[in-house]
Amino acid sequence: MPSGNATNIQKLSKSQAKAELRKLIKQIAEHDERYYQRDAPIVSDSDYDVLRGRLEAIEKRFPDLVTPDSPSQKVGAPALEKFGKVRHRFPMLSLNNAFSNEEVEDFVGRVRRFLKLPADATLEITAEPKIDGLSISLRYENGELVEAATRGDGYEGENVIANVKTIGDVPKRLTGRNLPKAIDIRGEIYMRPEDFLKLNAAQERTGSKIFANPRSAAAGSVRQLDASITAARPLRFFAYTWGEANPLPGKTQWEVCQAFKRWGLPVNELMIVGTSPEQLLKHYRKLEQERAKLGYDIDGVVYKVNRIDYQERLGFISRAPRWGLAHKFTAEKAMTILEGIEIQVGRTGAMTPVARLKPVTVGGVVVANATLHNEDEVARKDIRIGDTVILQRAGDVIPQILGFVPEKRPAGTKPYKFPERCPACGSHAVREINPNTNKLDAVRRCTGGLICPAQRVERLRHFVSRLAFDIEGMGEKIIQEFFDEGWLESPPDIFTLESQDRKAAHRLAEREGWGEVSARNLFAAINARRTVPLDRFIFALGIRHVGETTARTLARAYGTVETFVQHMNAAARSRDNDEFRRLTDIDGIGEVVGNSVAEFFAEKHNTKVVKELLDHVRVTPLERINSTSPVAGKTVVFTGALERMTREEAKSMAERLGAKVSGSVSKNTDIVVAGPGAGSKLKEAQKHGVEVIDEDEWFRRIQQS
């Protein structure tokens, strides 16, 4: 926890306690300021409660260390300057928090003892949802709304009457007869999570402030200087208590709330009157269960002694009444409904199931989606659409679905069936055998590679990359830009960019940030690659498991592009034909690569792309290995910083010359090419007596060939 020091309070020395209290006061003040004045909290309520709980526990052990600036001595933060100030006639205080059943039992016991009630006397206590919004005090004089004040520091708040008048739930005039001369109605302004999400989406569209959660959004909306902005925000209100009341319309909490209802004020329907801790706790559990379905956020249950004469006798200690208690829900977990499962296709074709949830606040953040990781995870948890699921959010981690609640499973649900086709392009989606573990891969992948819209940008990026077509100046940004314009969808489009440009379909030179020269340079770079060696061509296709080395193996095995394409088309027809066997018989090509290549060529759209590409580029057979080179047949290791070439260039150059490039030095190594900073490999070379040369010497030798 942010307090940084979680030493057992009983073990704290007085000076340690003093130092920690100072730190806690500072931290809490900062969080209060963010929460109350900037509507931008950075810790969850439960983290904040931990800080306050620790401060109060330390103060309880060392009462003489309590200072006037301690948060235990005040509520909230001072009123903002921008609004007029309102002095509360009755302070707007807070409630003590409880987190366990025992604390609730203690509360009831404490009240009974304070009132000196005989063991058989009935004590009524109400239990109602604790609404997660911002508290407000509404003053009605002769039924007319005349003032609306935020809590501020509990004694003085901000006058937000103009804004509050725009909230539909707040009557500007109370209805009914015998209205009090004056009454301060207190309650909570809040926002529904679904309205909050819509608001945030709209804010995002206009580049305006994004709110962390519905409560911050409600608070931020009430504190608008321009009431027309507040009017456009979906704010709501529940009334639950009062300040000054002249007269009070009842003798109990319950009766007063019934009067509020008659006057046209919204009162929460989920209040009960209990007579034992068991009844209160039962209601607490019920509300915790129903929390997700309510449509508004609650963060606990508030218990209040029902009889108002008892409340008056009980009074307050420091900032909270003896007659009330807030029983908070345990942090970071919530239940909600799984409304659907959507499949997201990643840039590499991985299909991830994402839970679409009825929005719920978990740990101060509204959660509407959660990852379900993969197909097996959904099957293992047997989560079905319509289920009530348990959601957990830990810190900043993406929310997780822990499981479903069996008793709440609706009749007729079916196990979720994972799609076998890609939702983005309709191609087959397959699960491969992981070559390392020999087990079925957890991830199902789309095989649509070159045509799948979800994978297109990534594929294009790969296609032009240095080890593939190596088109200079065609970076990720340009690809994305052209893709967004609709100019580039699949690799063959790269080679028609210039002719399209000439037809004035899209004039590159006229674009912002471009010009004649840069357009010409790009077209020149593309044209320079209209001839490409077969290994690069194969690698550029982006077939799964076909890296640079495998591409070269395939290129060597099939020689020309025509032979390669013809044989792959045949191999794709069935896994039980000679062509497929010939493919997997190639040294270095196993079942995994074979399947992957066959799947690629089994998709019509992929073969179409290959065919179109061949209309624009000339594919040369792989350069023959130079067996006369002085490095042919040698095992070479490159180590240290190379200055004249990249590691990849060095590798492909050596391989072209017939050398085998290895990553580690052994007695079988023939040459180590060492640049500056070479370390352990150099030592190994010396140990085995392997020849060590520098980069210049390497170039000298290979130039002879």
User: Where along the sequence are the contacts to ligand IVH (CB under 6 A)?
Assistant: 93-95, 128, 130-131, 135, 188, 240-241, 302, 321, 324, 326
Coil vs helix vs strand at 154? coil
CA distances from 526 to 508, 533, 583 (A): 14, 15, 32
Residue number, 282 or 660, with CB nearest to ligand IVH: 282
Alpha helices in 157-316 (DSSP H): 161-164, 193-205, 214-222, 227-231, 253-262, 277-290, 308-314
Token pair, residue 653, equals 């150059």
> Residue for token digits 């290129």?
555
Strand partners, 242: 185
DSSP letter string, 317-355: ETTEETTEEEEEPPTTEEEEEEEEEEEEE-TTSEEEEEE
User: Among all residues, which ones are annotated catalytic?
Assistant: 130
447: nearest Cα among 593, 341, 550, 601: 601
639: nearest Cα among 627, 650, 623, 629: 650
CA distances from 309 to 53, 108, 127, 253, 495 (A): 30, 16, 18, 10, 86
Provide the 10 A C-beta neighbour count for residue 38: 15
- Sign of the four-CA dihedral 91, 94, 96, 100: positive
> Residue for token digits 């699949």?
490
Token pair, residue 316, equals 């307050």
Q: Are 413 and 385 in contact (CB under 8 A)?
A: yes
How many contiguous H segments (helices) and E segments (strands) does the chain have?
24, 26
CA distances from 185 to 160, 210, 261 (A): 15, 31, 12
Angle at 17 between CA 12 and CA 18, to 5 degrees: 155
Token pair, residue 658, equals 């017939």
126: nearest Cα among 317, 315, 301: 301
CA distances from 660 to 254, 631, 688 (A): 86, 9, 18
- Sign of the four-CA dihedral 495, 499, 502, 507: negative
Dihedrals phi, psi of 117, to nearest 5 degrees: -75, 135
> Residue for token digits 């959010």?
393
Token pair, residue 14, equals 């007085």
> Residue for token digits 């409904």?
337
CA distance 273 to 253: 9
700, containing H or E segment? helix 695-703
> Residue for token digits 């409880």?
98
CA distance 93 to 177: 30
Name residues whose C-beta falls within 8 Å of residue 677's C-beta, 6 or more positions apart in sequence.
640, 641
18: nearest Cα among 31, 5, 2: 5
Q: Are 335 and 292 in contact (CB under 8 A)?
A: yes
Three-class HEC string of 605-618: HHHHHHHHHHHHCE
Q: Are 580 and 574 in contact (CB under 8 A)?
A: yes
